[in-house]
Structure 1
Amino acid sequence: MLDFLNNTQGKVVKIEELIFTTLINTLSNILFSEDFRDLKDDETAHRLKFGLLKILENSVTPNVSEFFPIVGGLDLQGLRKDSLNHLDELSSFSEAIVKERRARITKKVVVADHEKDFLDRLLENNFTTAQINILVLELFIAGTDTVVTTIEWAMAELLKNKEIMRKVQKELTELNHNSIMNSDLSKVTYFNACIKETLRLHPVVPVLIPRRAIEASYELYYSSKCPSHDYEFIPFGGGRRMCPGLPSGVKSLQTMLASLIVGYDWSLPNGEDPTKLDMTEKFGVTLQKEKPLELVFRRRE
């Protein structure tokens, strides 16, 4: 991501697609040990993101066929058909990798255990290509959209508030490490307060589904058996049902945002006034910025 920005200084960058592609490549390196997409390929990144969002939207859209079992197999709204079409298109991105890896197994190419990745382990346990595609899809949906949305809102808020941006830059610059990736970002309190304030102002999924305990559980709550006591910070949920991706999500958010703050000065295209930046929200599966953020990056001295 940073190399890409260094080569596009002075040009307009679409933040949403930059962050999305970077996260997709992060996950694909965990799964397949290689980048999934090229940061220069805006069109493919857009298609991939659109497909993931459509599948997610279809999954939460009220489906008449589910309320009336007698018409359950008819797919009256076409939601199932639309999701399968997008699934087929998205699967094409990973099937070539899976096919190549299966061929390696067929040829009995020996790979040391420490060099095997997540895909190797799935194939060793006889996962089918269809199962792998579904698993990859779920991880991509869960691991991208919320982080992309939060980083975009955080950058917009920092751009509008120059004094806060200067404080965050000063705090991050004073870290005693050569690289943000080698820094303990949990200790930069003002920076993390800005992330939490962003999530307060722009909650990624601003829907609270009421839950009710079926019995008193005070002993569990106050014992060390309770998975999470941090109920003051719940964008990832809390307790037993909290999101298992919290460590990955927070780490990705911190490192990407901090790298952009430390390394670059941002400005709006055509010298636009950042204090007048359009902050209108678009409510969908996640609370997105209605007008996508586009910025010009220049390396900081």
Structure 2
Amino acid sequence: MSLFIFTFTSWLPILLMILPLLLLLHVFPKKKPTRFPPSPPQLPIIGNLHQLGDFSYHTFWQLSKKYGPLMYLRLGSLPTLVISSSKLARDVMKTQDLDFCNRPLFVSYKKLSYNFLELIFTPYGEYYRDMRKIFNNELLSIKKVQSFGFIRADEVAQMIELISRSASSSTPVNLTELMLSLTSTIISRAAFGKSYRGGAKTNFHGVFEEAQALFAAFFYADYIPWLGWIDVVSGQRARLEKSFQDMDMFYNQVIDEHLDPERVKQEQEDLVDVLIRVQKDHHLTRDHIKALLMGIFIAGTDTGAATVVWAMTELIRKPSVMNKVQHEIRRIIGNRGKVEEDDLCQLDYFKLVVKETLRMHPAAPMLVPRETTRQCRLDGYDIAPKTLVFINALAIGHEPESWKNPGEFWPERFTDSPIDYKGNDFQFIPFGAGRRICPGMHFGVVTVEIALANLLYSFNWELPSGMNKEDIDMSGLPGITVHKKSPLLLVPIDYINSTNGKTDK
């Protein structure tokens, strides 16, 4: 008995230490192993970065055909999901939108958005909701967008006049260049109150082209933080800083002009006027105003131009569709000489052409990346907080389960179809959906429609001499917005003058 008591008392302190651990293991059973979605093989340190190449949307699309519509990658140290189906897009942007509505804190996003003050790149929270209200109620409400109709009409008329001069000599026009000029000028007049065409003082277009490129640029600090010093040595950080300073100087100039007490105010408020007017009520600093303007210009210029160019590219490759949409426009407009915005609602087949262009060529084929806000599950898999999430709108728009012959440009597929791009139909999401749907969707679409409709109404179009439709390069350039790689050169034939004012009946 004495031996037993000695042994027990000797082990008693150890048992008292172990007992709480045993109780914890009983109350909190061993954590189940994490179940990741299917993934391509990964390399040490870089993970799957080596597989991306210049065109991540195409790479992701091809990989998803092998590994499935929910694919897990590791981009350096970042856990990453790629969504390539409408079902999963619905889960991410509707059913579990709150779990997937954040934004990654990328280096270029932070710098160029004034430390995430811009709406598109700011993390989700109270600030995002407040800024969204300003956009919806003040900056880009339907009423406000309509008020800029005179700007769109004026700039489109000038573009048509410029093309007419080329038509008189049968000279090819560079539609890529023309559309970039048109959309940037429309936005600069709407946002800043005047056109900065030519950029005499600010090299306006160069400043924004560089900023747009940097939003899509690779920074080691984003993916492999301990290699962030390479961004400094390579000059990438200096390039980012210069771009920011150039852009900041331009915005300060614009705001100072608007605050000048001797400035002659225009009858129509521009977007800088609006932001200055609501500044006190919403506690906006000058940096807030500059950040919000940056988002409007960066997001609005490239996307509209790219969409019109892709539409004209598809139409020149499909003469039957070109003839059909031109016949409709000319029949309805008659000999009035131009298409006005009030006419657009009557152009049923034309609307189908625009939809089909957005399906086949979403301007941002890989939607602006999201980030998970917390631990969650998706399609039975475990998803960690701060996981980077890419939604491949291009792959979803070509999903065989949703679209018959998805690789064919066929506007008739939308005939009598309720499917639209406004965020309720997840097989068709060129502007995204949910809390993060594009706030400038209406502005962008009406700009595309009025420009495209007038190009089709005013001119017949031919390829340059010696070129066949099979020769058209359909590849795109890398970037958040995907432009056609080679400029679209077409020969305009002045339709109105060639028919002496007689149009299709």
The TM-score range, normalised by the shorter chain, is 0.7 to 0.9
| SS state at 2:196 partner | coil
Equivalent residue for 1:6, pick from 164, 184, 191? 164
Q: How many residues align?
A: 282
List aligned pairs for 1:1-301, cutoff 5 A.
1-9=159-167, 10-38=170-198, 47-48=206-207, 50-58=209-217, 61-64=218-221, 67-68=224-225, 75=232, 77-91=234-248, 95-102=252-259, 104-105=260-261, 107=262, 111=265, 115-123=268-276, 125=279, 132-176=289-333, 178=336, 179-207=338-366, 228-301=423-496
> After superposition, what is the alpha-carbon deviation per residue over 1:192-228, rounded to whole angstroms, capped at 9, x for unaligned?
2222222232233333769999699xxxxxxxxxx95
Q: Is the 8 A contact 2:221 2:231 kept in 1?
A: no
| SS state at 1:4 partner | helix
Q: CA deviation at 1:110?
A: 7.6
| SS state at 2:431 partner | coil
Q: Is the 8 A contact 1:175 1:183 kept in 2?
A: no
Tell me the distance in 1 between the aligned counterparts of 2:252 and 2:177.
23
Q: Which of structures 1 and 2 has the larger relative contact order (alpha carbons within 8 angstroms, sep 6+)? A: 1
Tell me the distance in 2 between the aligned counterparts of 1:94 and 1:100.
10
Q: Is the 8 A contact 1:161 1:275 kept in 2?
A: no
Tell me the distance in 2 between the aligned counterparts of 1:254 and 1:228.
19
Taking structure 1 as reference, are residues 280 and 84 closer, same or farther at Cα in structure 2, changes over 3 Å only?
same
Taking structure 1 as reference, are residues 14 and 52 closer, same or farther at Cα in structure 2, changes over 3 Å only?
farther
Taking structure 1 as reference, are residues 176 and 281 closer, same or farther at Cα in structure 2, changes over 3 Å only?
closer
Gaps of 5+ in 1: 217-226
| SS state at 2:483 partner | strand
Tell me the distance in 2 between the aligned counterparts of 1:97 and 1:287.
29
Which residue number corresponds to residue 223 of structure 1? Answer: none
Q: CA deviation at 1:265?
A: 1.6
Q: CA deviation at 1:277?
A: 1.8
Q: CA deviation at 1:63?
A: 3.1
Work out which of the two has the higher radius of gyration on C-alpha atoms and give 1 or 2: 2
How does the TM-score come out when normalised to structure 1?
0.77
Q: CA deviation at 1:133?
A: 4.1
Q: CA deviation at 1:260?
A: 0.4
Q: CA deviation at 1:253?
A: 1.1
Taking structure 1 as reference, are residues 284 and 182 closer, same or farther at Cα in structure 2, changes over 3 Å only?
closer
Tell me the distance in 2 between the aligned counterparts of 1:250 and 1:188.
14
When the two chains are superposed, the root-mean-square deviation of aligned CA atoms in Å is: 3.6
Q: CA deviation at 1:79?
A: 3.3
| SS state at 1:243 partner | coil
Tell me the distance in 2 between the aligned counterparts of 1:48 and 1:294.
26
Which residue number corresponds to residue 224 of structure 1? Answer: none
Q: Among all aligned residue pairs of Structure 1 and Structure 2, give the percentage whose two residues are the same amino acid.
A: 28
Q: Is the 8 A contact 1:65 1:73 kept in 2?
A: no
| SS state at 2:209 partner | helix
Counterpart amino acid of residue 118 in structure 1: L
> After superposition, what is the alpha-carbon deviation per residue over 1:202-261, rounded to whole angstroms, capped at 9, x for unaligned?
233333769999699xxxxxxxxxx95333431111233211111111111111111101
Q: Is the 8 A contact 1:66 1:72 kept in 2?
A: no
Counterpart amino acid of residue 233 in structure 1: F
Tell me the distance in 2 between the aligned counterparts of 1:49 and 1:257.
24
Structure with greater helix percent: 1
Tell me the distance in 2 between the aligned counterparts of 1:7 and 1:45.
26
Taking structure 1 as reference, are residues 66 and 172 closer, same or farther at Cα in structure 2, changes over 3 Å only?
same
Counterpart amino acid of residue 214 in structure 2: I
Tell me the distance in 2 between the aligned counterparts of 1:133 and 1:161.
43
> After superposition, what is the alpha-carbon deviation per residue over 1:109-164, rounded to whole angstroms, capped at 9, x for unaligned?
6858x554322344453876665444333211100112221211111110111111
Counterpart amino acid of residue 35 in structure 1: S
Tell me the distance in 2 between the aligned counterparts of 1:247 and 1:267.
31
Tell me the distance in 1 between the aligned counterparts of 2:190 and 2:219.
34
Gaps of 5+ in 2: 1-158, 379-421, 497-505
Tell me the distance in 1 between the aligned counterparts of 2:492 and 2:219.
42
> After superposition, what is the alpha-carbon deviation per residue over 1:154-207, rounded to whole angstroms, capped at 9, x for unaligned?
111101111110000011112258442233424423222222222232233333
| SS state at 2:487 partner | coil
| SS state at 1:296 partner | strand
How does the TM-score come out when normalised to structure 2?
0.48
Q: CA deviation at 1:67?
A: 4.5
Taking structure 1 as reference, are residues 214 and 292 closer, same or farther at Cα in structure 2, changes over 3 Å only?
same
Q: CA deviation at 1:272?
A: 2.1
Counterpart amino acid of residue 25 in structure 1: T
